[in-house]
Amino acid sequence: MNAISSFPSSSLVSASLRKQAPQSKLKILSIYKIKPAVLTSSKPTKTHFDKLLSVLQYGAFLAAVEAPAALAVTGENNNEEDLLTTLLYGAIIAFGYLFIAPPIIMNWMRLRWYKRKFLEMYLQFMFTFIFFPGLLLWAPFINFRKLPRDPTMEFPWSTPKDDPNIPLYKDR
């Protein structure tokens, strides 16, 4: 109390504290300045940004402990793979990407084109662009159009004869 009593306005502060105590418990005047003191709860509230920063710091620490930078210099972590194994895995993936998936996707689009809802349309759109090179490779060889109605037509784009006995399209 000696340090507090040395200030000339300490009696004013204590008197104002006694006056405000019945009104509000949250307003406490600072001893050194005549301002309301800032009250903090026992638990500091963390914002999402603070939580994100702490998670990023923790992840950076774990990454530094798990794989130190010295390993990149010394080469202790270099596990050599056989070139044949790498080429074989690449060939298997390329075969599936270029020859297996595109006909399946094109048939799926053919069957569900007018029946699809939004999610299926989105999936077809994404699969089309993910497998675009394979679809371009297969497009000249896959034809889902019906055969021309006139058997005398040489090409599908030829002009048919107007004969009512010939059906518009024939089944495959």
| 167/148 Cα distance (integer angstroms) | 9
Q: Is 11 inside a domain boundary? A: yes
pLDDT attached to residue 11: 52
Q: How many structural domains is the chain composed of?
A: 2
| Strand (E) or helix (H) holding 25 | none
Cα 89 to Cα 28, 78, 82: the distances in Å are 72, 19, 11
Cα 105 to Cα 77, 94, 127, 129: the distances in Å are 40, 16, 7, 11
Do 44 and 38 meet the contact criterion of CB atoms below 8 Å apart?
no
Q: Is 72 inside a domain boundary? A: no
Q: How many residues does the chain have?
A: 172
pLDDT attached to residue 144: 66
Q: Is 144 inside a domain boundary? A: no
What tens-digit pLDDT sequence spans the chain (172 residues)?
455 545 555 455 455 555 554 544 455 555 555 655 555 555 666 788 888 888 888 888 887 777 666 666 666 656 677 889 889 999 999 999 988 988 888 888 888 888 888 888 888 888 888 888 888 888 777 766 666 566 677 776 777 677 667 666 665 5
Q: Is 64 inside a domain boundary? A: no
Q: Is 77 inside a domain boundary? A: no
**Which residues make Cβ contacts (< 8 Å) with residue 27, sequence separation at least 6?**
20, 36
DSSP 36: B
Q: Is 53 inside a domain boundary? A: no
What pTM did the predictor assign? 0.38
Amino acid occupying residue 86:
T
Q: Is 97 inside a domain boundary? A: yes
Q: Is 123 inside a domain boundary? A: yes
CA angle, 147 then 124 then 92, to 5°: 90
Write out the residue range of the structural domain in which residue 87 sits: 83-138
Partners of 169 in the beta sheet?
148
